[in-house]
Amino acid sequence: MGVVEVGTTSEVEFTTAYQPIVDTSANGTVFAYEALIRGPNGEGADWVFGNVPVADALAFDERCRSHALSTAFAFGIRERLSLNISARAICHRRHGLYATLRTASQLGLRADDLIFEMTEHDPIPDIEKLGRWISAARGRKVKFAMDDFGAGYAGLNMLLSLRPEIIKLDMALVRNVNTDRTRQALIKGIIDACSTFGCLIVAEGVETQDEFSTLSMLGITLMQGYLFARPELARSLIATSGLVFKAEREAVASP
């Protein structure tokens, strides 16, 4: 459990859960774990950050990423780690991306095993500056993902300007995709566009076998969602192999 002082009179307790991104083309092995902030009783990230003063948000956000790294290291998680970060935080000199890279280096974790997920929900005031910071970080082999693609501001502009290595389709595009030809057409168009510059696609929020089957038919192999596994604390992942996710997926398909 992490405990971070905020302001001068209060503190926020939090922990980190990890949810796998599964490579369905490789027998359901783990492509990466996304680190997700949770409250002491399992509350979501919105609840946790709702208890943090705005003035302390960037420092707290950086502490959460450091906690995710140190916890994963302590429990022997050696797969790629995907860490959420806002566009504003990437460019912050004290509490931004490079502070997280310093923590990873101190732990002996490789930068090329880190994925930074940028949210699309917030507007980006200076996309050129952001692009320069991202380009510099790529010199260290860091990868970038665009989270919740299709749900926020100027997604196509960000895709064209920043060229992330990965985009994560918002669950609103994924939900009931098996019965919605419009969603299928949109996703197919995104796949075609991303294939031109080697951008991987992750489908978020996959919950049913029918969604899985349709996404697979469209050509998506990286998936994340309750169909495979819910977010778990690090200690629950120690004995878990990627084959478990394949077994769980097949069990859902069984009558």
Hey, which residues are catalytic here?
A: 204
CB 68 within 8 A of CB 35: yes
Residue 189, Ramachandran bin (φ over 0: left; ψ between -120 and 50: alpha; else beta): alpha
Pairing of strands 114-118, 166-169: unpaired
Q: Which helix (H) or strand (E) holds 46?
A: helix 45-50
SS (H, E, C) 3-41: EEEECCCEEEEEEEEEEEEEEHHHCCEEEEEEEEEECCC
SS3 assignment, position 231: coil
- What the block records as the tokens of 2 is 């992490």
Strand-pairing partners, residue 155, are none
What does the alpha-carbon distance between residue 150 and residue 60 come to, in Å, rounded to a whole number? 27
Using CA atoms, how far residue 160 sits from 92, 112, 154, 193, in Å, is 23, 23, 10, 10
What does the alpha-carbon distance between residue 70 and residue 181 come to, in Å, rounded to a whole number? 43
How crowded is the C-beta side of 210, counted as CA atoms within 13 Å? 7
- What the block records as the tokens of 159 is 């895709």
